[in-house]
Amino acid sequence: MSLFSRTPKYTLINIRKKDIPEGLWSKCEGCGQALYKKNLEENLKVCPKCDYHFVLNCSERVNLLVDKDTFEEFDADMGSLDPLDFKGPKTYKEKIVQDQANTGLKEGVLCGKCKINSFESVICVTDSRFIMGSMGSVVGEKITRAIEFATKNNLPVIIVSGSGGGARMYEGMFSLMQMAKTSAALARHHKAGLLFISVLTNPTMAGIMASFAGLGDIIVAEPRALIGFTGPRVIEQTIKQKLPPGFQSSEFLLEHGLIDMVVARKSLKDTLSSLIGYLS
């Protein structure tokens, strides 16, 4: 008993757990691996373990694809109105102001003239952070103007789509009109014998996919991107059938002929410049 009653020769010290700064780690949505953010960004936001491609915003896309200091933005100050005076849990105006503050963007697409490995081009990139990259009047107008600029100046067009929102229903029919307007501009571009490359990223869905995103002379997609019109759950409930695994993935659509290429992010810029060189 004396063994347990003796005064210990050591003192217990309460050591406070060091505070770990927030935002240093990300969890991979593909494999669940914890990834150090700095290393992830150095790898172009691609998981080194499972090759899952994280979503990029429009500025990151431009930096990835465009030669340094060559991007000249079009229509930077164009902003949306509220033609329907839309009201819900949040009004449309409140939603726009909120997303402008959160993203630093005026609208959900970035368009401009640039060089890609020295090839002059016009590029448009939608941003899923801004009302899911959906196409309202301003997004449609900016893309249409960019295409028309390219047609007038005999330049190829690259549109990088990452929209899960399709047509922006806050604007009703005004939004749906953009599908026809952008498609008509691309038809004129094609008639002029000029190149349009559509780049599909995760997710590209609904009205975006049903209009300009599906009209590329060459359609390129990033690996494992979700691509389609309606989500799988809605389709299954409608047709009362079980769908094949991954039927809306880039790889499935490549196998069935809807797209032309699946290209890893690190190879995307060189692939685009090679296509421009071969086909323009």
Q: Which stretches in the chain have pLDDT values below 70?
A: 1-23
Q: What is the pLDDT of residue 31?
A: 81
Read off the amino acid at residue 224: R
Residues 34 and 68 in one domain: no
Q: Is residue 13 part of a domain?
A: no
- DSSP letter assigned to residue 264: -
Residues 49 and 94 in one domain: no
Query: Among candidates 83, 198, 61, 59, which has minimal Cα distance to 136?
Result: 83
Q: Is residue 231 part of a domain?
A: yes
Residues 187 and 167 in one domain: yes
Contact 55, 201 (CB under 8 A): yes
The range of the structural domain enclosing residue 47 comes to: 20-54
Q: Is residue 268 part of a domain?
A: yes
Residues 138 and 201 in one domain: yes
Number of domains comprising the chain = 2
Q: Is residue 265 part of a domain?
A: yes
Residues 226 and 132 in one domain: yes
Q: What is the pLDDT of residue 5?
A: 56
Query: Among candidates 203, 144, 135, 202, which has minimal Cα distance to 169?
Result: 135
Q: What is the pLDDT of residue 17?
A: 42
Distance CA 79, CA 109 (A): 11
Q: Is residue 242 part of a domain?
A: yes
Residues 235 and 158 in one domain: yes
- The CATH number of residue 77's host domain is 3.90.226.10
Q: Is residue 179 part of a domain?
A: yes
Residues 163 and 262 in one domain: yes
Residues 79 and 99 in one domain: yes
Residues 50 and 170 in one domain: no
By CB neighbour count within 10 A (0-12 exposed, 13-18 middle, 19+ buried), where does 194 fall? Answer: buried
Q: Is residue 10 part of a domain?
A: no
Read off the amino acid at residue 102: N
Q: Is residue 70 part of a domain?
A: yes
Considering 11, 29, 54, which residue would you say is the last residue of a domain?
54
Q: What is the pLDDT of residue 45?
A: 81
Residues 209 and 251 in one domain: yes
Q: What is the pLDDT of residue 9?
A: 52
Residues 150 and 175 in one domain: yes
Residues 159-215 have pLDDT tens digits of 999 877 778 888 889 999 999 999 999 999 999 999 999 999 988 888 888 899 999
By CB neighbour count within 10 A (0-12 exposed, 13-18 middle, 19+ buried), where does 269 fall? Answer: middle
Q: What's this model's pTM, rounded to 2 decimal places?
A: 0.84
Residues 170 and 226 in one domain: yes
